[in-house]
């Protein structure tokens, strides 16, 4: 399983922008924000202000189904993932 971090920037009590990161975001030296590598673009993003970070584990579905590299088995050839 792989840990995924979802970083949300808040504005006016509502989520304004979300990013995904595969490594732990780093707190800026002045303590007012964070810096991380965006999973989609592989660019460094620095966010200052109201921020929340959620941590998720990906790959749970494959383990529950008994497929995937973490389970050590691949799905049979007659089963195709739709998403």
Query: What integer pLDDT is reported at residue 56 of this predicted model?
Result: 87
| 69-82 pLDDT, tens digit each | 555 556 566 666 65
Structure tokens at 43: 């660019």
Instruction: State pLDDT tens for residues 6-47.
Output: 999 999 989 999 999 989 999 999 999 999 999 999 999 999
Exposure of 6 in the CB half-sphere (CA atoms within 13 A): 11
Measured CA to CA in angstroms, residue 35 lies from 51, 59, 62 at distances of 11, 25, 30
Amino acid 46: pLDDT: 96
Taking only the tens place, the pLDDT of each residue in 39-68 is 999 999 999 999 999 998 876 555 555 555
Residue 61 has phi, psi (to 5 degrees) of -60, -40
**For position 2, what pLDDT does the model report?**
81
0.85 exceeded by pTM: no
Q: Residue 34 CB: number of other CB atoms within 10 A?
A: 20
- Dmax over CA atoms of the chain, in Å, equals 55
């Amino acid at each position: 399983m792989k840990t995924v971090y979802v970083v949300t920037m808040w504005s006016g009590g509502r989520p304004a922008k979300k990013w995904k990161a595969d490594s732990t975001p780093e707190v800026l030296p002045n303590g007012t924000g964070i810096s991380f590598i965006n999973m989609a673009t592989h660019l460094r993003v620095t966010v200052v202000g109201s921020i929340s970070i959620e941590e998720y584990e990906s790959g749970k579905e494959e383990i529950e189904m008994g497929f995937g590299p973490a389970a050590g088995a691949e799905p049979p050839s007659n089963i195709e993932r739709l998403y």
